[in-house]
Amino acid sequence: MLLGLMILGVSMDFSLDLSSVNAILLFGNKSLASLAGHIFDSMEHYTLMIIPFFILASSFLSKGSAAQCLVDFAIDSIGCGLKMACQWRQY
């Protein structure tokens, strides 16, 4: 089902969602209501919720000039001791 949805042009996240729900309902012994409750209960894991926020923060840093300002500050305050700051300065 996953490959079929991907061939049809459905995005990867919806393809994985539909395929996994379909597999759980067909081969598992859970109903759709208990599956929804299990998904809702698993959203309380804060370590999984922080990943999209890190991606959003990196997007904000790279779109604006905040990342360049942080690297310039690191170079000015420490010198070229930071390998990342030295490599960033080359580009």
Residues 54 and 78 in one domain: yes
Instruction: Say yes or no: 54 and 26 in one domain.
Output: no
**Rounded Cα distance, 76 and 70, in Å:** 10
60, 25: one domain = no
Residue 49's contacts (CB-CB under 8 Å, 6 or more residues apart) are 43
Co-location of 53 and 40 in the same domain? no
Residues 66 and 84 in one domain: yes
Q: How many whole angstroms separate alpha carbon 65 and alpha carbon 56?
A: 15
> What local confidence, expressed as pLDDT, does residue 46 receive?
73
Q: Pick the more confident residue, 79 or 38.
A: 38
Mean pLDDT rounded to a whole number for the chain: 78
Confidence of residue 90 (pLDDT cuts 50, 70, 90): low
- Are residues 53 and 37 part of one domain? no
The confidence band for 8, taking pLDDT boundaries of 50, 70 and 90, is very high
Count up the domains in the chain and report the number: 2
Q: Are residues 78 and 53 in the same domain?
A: yes
Residue 90's Cβ-count burial label (10 Å; 0-12, 13-18, 19+) is: exposed
- Domain carrying residue 38: 1-44
* Together in a domain, 55 and 24: no
Reported residue count of the chain is: 91
- Residue 30's identity, in one-letter code, is K
Cβ proximity of 72 and 89 under 8 Å: no
